[in-house]
Structure 1
Amino acid sequence: MPTRVIWPTYTIGTWAANVDDDLGCRWVVEKQTLNDGIGRKTHTSERPFGMGAYRSRSYPAARTGLIQGYCQAPDRASRVTARDRLMSLFPAGGQALLVVDDGVAPRQLLVELDSDVLKCDVWKTGEGIDWQLPLIATDPRWLDTTMQVAGPFTVGGVVADGLDWGSGGLDWANGGLDWGSSGNGGVLSLTNPGSAPTWPVFTVVGPLVNPALTNPVTGDVIAYTGTVEAGQTLVIDTSPFTRSVALNGVDRSGLLASAQWIEIPPGGQVTVQFSGAGAGTVTASWRYAYN
Structure 2
Amino acid sequence: MPILVGTLTEPNPTPPSGIPQPADPGRPEAVWIAPDGTESQLTSDRELHFTLDSVTGWGAAPISLVADPHPRGGTRVRHIQPQPRTITWPLRIRATTHMELVAGWRDLATRFTQTRRLGPGLLRIMRPDGTAREILAYYQAGFAGEPGQGHTWDTAVLSLYCEDPYWRAVAPVSTLYSNGATVSYLDPYLTVSPSSVLGATTAVNAGDVEAWPAWTIVGPASQVQATNSTTGEAFTLSATLLAGETATISTDPPTVRGPAGQNWTGNLDWPSAVLWALQPGLNDVDFAVSGAAAGTQITLSYTPRYETA
TM-score, structure 2 as length reference: 0.72
- Partner Cα distance (2:263, 2:95) in 1: 48
| Shift of residue 270, structure 1, vs aligned partner | 3.4
| Shift of residue 125, structure 1, vs aligned partner | 5.8
Aligned-partner SS, 1:92: helix
Bigger-Rg structure (1/2): 2
Aligned to 1:171: none
Is the CA contact 1:214–1:220 (under 8 Å) kept in the aligned structure 2?
yes
Aligned to 1:244: 255
- Partner Cα distance (1:209, 1:284) in 2: 18
Once structures 1 and 2 are overlaid, which stretch shifts more, 217-226 or 190-199? 217-226
| Shift of residue 98, structure 1, vs aligned partner | 1.7
Aligned to 1:118: 142
- Partner Cα distance (1:149, 1:37) in 2: 26
CA-to-partner distance for each residue in 1:34-80, whole Å, 9 max, x for gaps?
Answer: 32222221112334x54212430323222222111212234434323
| Shift of residue 20, structure 1, vs aligned partner | 5.1
Aligned to 1:253: 265
CA distance 1:69–1:125, shift in 2 (3 Å) = closer
Partner amino acid, structure 2, of 1:265: Q
CA distance 1:37–1:6, shift in 2 (3 Å) = closer
- Partner Cα distance (2:123, 2:302) in 1: 18
CA distance 1:20–1:249, shift in 2 (3 Å) = farther
- Partner Cα distance (2:290, 2:45) in 1: 54
TM-score, structure 1 as length reference: 0.75
CA-to-partner distance for each residue in 1:117-157, whole Å, 9 max, x for gaps?
Answer: 33341674623321122122222111111321111x224x4
Aligned to 1:107: 133
CA-to-partner distance for each residue in 1:19-42, whole Å, 9 max, x for gaps?
Answer: 256xx5233243222322222211
Correspondence 1:1-291 to 2 at 5 A: 7-13=28-34, 14=38, 15-19=40-44, 24-47=47-70, 50-88=72-110, 89=112, 90-92=115-117, 94-104=119-129, 105-114=131-140, 117-121=141-145, 124=149, 126-151=151-176, 153-155=177-179, 157=180, 183-187=195-199, 188-239=201-252, 242-247=253-258, 248-258=260-270, 259-279=273-293, 280-291=296-307
Is the CA contact 2:30–2:123 (under 8 Å) kept in the aligned structure 1?
no
Aligned-partner SS, 1:121: coil
CA-to-partner distance for each residue in 1:75-95, whole Å, 9 max, x for gaps?
Answer: 434323322233222241722
CA distance 1:80–1:58, shift in 2 (3 Å) = same
Is the CA contact 1:43–1:56 (under 8 Å) kept in the aligned structure 2?
yes
Is the CA contact 2:28–2:125 (under 8 Å) kept in the aligned structure 1?
no
Is the CA contact 2:86–2:160 (under 8 Å) kept in the aligned structure 1?
yes
Once structures 1 and 2 are overlaid, which stretch shifts more, 98-107 or 247-256? 247-256
CA distance 1:251–1:83, shift in 2 (3 Å) = farther
Give aligned-pair identity as a percent.
20
4+ residue runs over 6 A deviation: none
- Partner Cα distance (2:245, 2:45) in 1: 46
| Shift of residue 203, structure 1, vs aligned partner | 1.1
Partner amino acid, structure 2, of 1:46: P
Partner amino acid, structure 1, of 2:43: N
CA distance 1:243–1:99, shift in 2 (3 Å) = farther
Extract unaligned runs of 5+ from structure 1.
Answer: 159-181
CA distance 1:250–1:84, shift in 2 (3 Å) = farther
- Partner Cα distance (1:83, 1:278) in 2: 59
More strand by share: 1
- Partner Cα distance (1:29, 1:275) in 2: 55
